[in-house]
């Protein structure tokens, strides 16, 4: 049975953001936890991670040469910011930490193109290297289900992948939309594409992806603004939604 959005007595302090039509693209999200870091902490760069990133960049360039219609972006973990849910520590939910410090995002207008990449010999080699270099991995097909605006991958910035676990996916989508106005007002957020897993690992209900120009636009708000805890995190908790945000830079 679908759960209804639970709203707290916040007097509509942050209006809902306006959404555009979702993208028709197909996505493949590949995430890996290579290095172990305490929470919260700026993520380290071990030799193993550096080598794997070099291999991943070489693979990306080869695939984009063979499949020009595919958009492939590689991200290196920068920091795990405040915002991870206390539900992660509740054994009754059996939620899993997302501490992925390497992410590959593939986008295509054609689902068949992503399938071709997955069955290619070069991907099989990369997948094996990621598997042996990582503590844990996450691979899923996805579609865009909600969108504020496109995430700009054409220029540097600070990028968020927020891995959500939830009791009810629709409730997760509803509370994401309900709280996104806080990010718009407090951090100047003007873009976001919410990815809904559609085949592969079903650990996470949704994965939100967005961008800021620099770390100072977003990190101080998450650390110092009381309204982030009182408005955003309380709404997530009330709706049994566990966000696990990680900030990245493109490589």
Angle among Cα 25, 29, 35 to the nearest 5 degrees reads 160
Average pLDDT, the chain: 93
Which is nearest to 171 in space by CA: 81, 89, 107, 235?
235
> If residue 223 lies in a helix (H) or strand (E), which one and from where to where?
helix 215-224
Q: Is position 121 within any domain? A: yes
Count how many domains the chain has.
1
What pLDDT digit, counting tens, does each position of 148-166 carry? 999 999 999 999 999 999 9
Task: Decide if pLDDT at 217 tops 90.
Answer: yes
Q: Is position 162 within any domain? A: yes
Q: Is position 126 within any domain? A: yes
Q: Is position 51 within any domain? A: yes
Q: Is position 18 within any domain? A: no
Determine phi and psi for 5, rounding to 5 degrees: -60, 130
Q: Is position 5 within any domain? A: no
Q: Is position 232 within any domain? A: yes
Q: Is position 6 within any domain? A: no
| DSSP state for residue 20 in the 8-state scheme | B
Angle among Cα 60, 64, 67 to the nearest 5 degrees reads 135
Instruction: State how far the Cα of 37 lies from the Cα of 58, in Å rounded to an integer.
Output: 26
Which is nearest to 110 in space by CA: 29, 25, 30, 195?
25
Residue 130: which CATH number? 3.30.70.100
Instruction: State how far the Cα of 220 lies from the Cα of 232, in Å rounded to an integer.
Output: 15
Lowest mean pLDDT among 75-89, 178-192, 202-216: 75-89
**C-alpha distances out from residue 75 to 52, 65, 87, 211, 246, Å:** 12, 19, 27, 12, 11
User: What average pLDDT does the segment 50-71 reach?
Assistant: 95
By the 8 A CB rule, do 70 and 64 touch? yes
Domain that holds residue 145: 26-250
What pLDDT digit, counting tens, does each position of 6-25 carry? 999 777 789 999 999 999 99
């Amino acid at each position: 049975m679908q759960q209804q959005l639970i709203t707290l007595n916040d007097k509509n302090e942050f209006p809902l953001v306006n959404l555009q039509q979702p993208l028709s693209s197909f996505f493949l999200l590949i995430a890996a936890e290579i290095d172990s870091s305490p929470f919260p902490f700026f993520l380290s760069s071990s030799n193993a991670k550096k080598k794997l990133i070099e291999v991943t960049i070489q693979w990306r360039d080869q695939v984009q040469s063979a499949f020009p219609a595919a958009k492939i972006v590689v991200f290196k973990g920068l920091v795990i910011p405040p915002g991870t849910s206390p539900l992660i520590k509740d054994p009754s939910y059996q939620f899993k930490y997302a501490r992925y410090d390497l992410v590959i995002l593939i986008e295509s207008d054609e689902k068949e193109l992503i399938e071709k990449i997955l069955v290619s010999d070069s991907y099989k080699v990369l997948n094996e290297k990621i598997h042996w270099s990582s503590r844990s991995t996450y691979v899923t097909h996805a579609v865009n289900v909600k969108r504020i605006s496109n995430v700009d991958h054409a220029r540097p910035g600070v990028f968020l992948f927020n891995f959500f676990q939830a009791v009810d996916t629709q409730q997760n989508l509803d509370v994401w939309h309900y709280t996104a106005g806080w990010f718009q007002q407090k951090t100047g957020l003007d873009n976001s594409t919410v990815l809904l897993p559609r085949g592969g690992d079903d650990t996470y209900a949704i994965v939100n992806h967005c961008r800021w120009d620099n770390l100072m636009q977003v990190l101080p708000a998450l650390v110092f603004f009381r309204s982030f805890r009182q408005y955003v995190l309380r709404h997530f908790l009330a709706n049994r939604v566990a966000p696990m945000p990680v900030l990245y830079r493109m490589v």
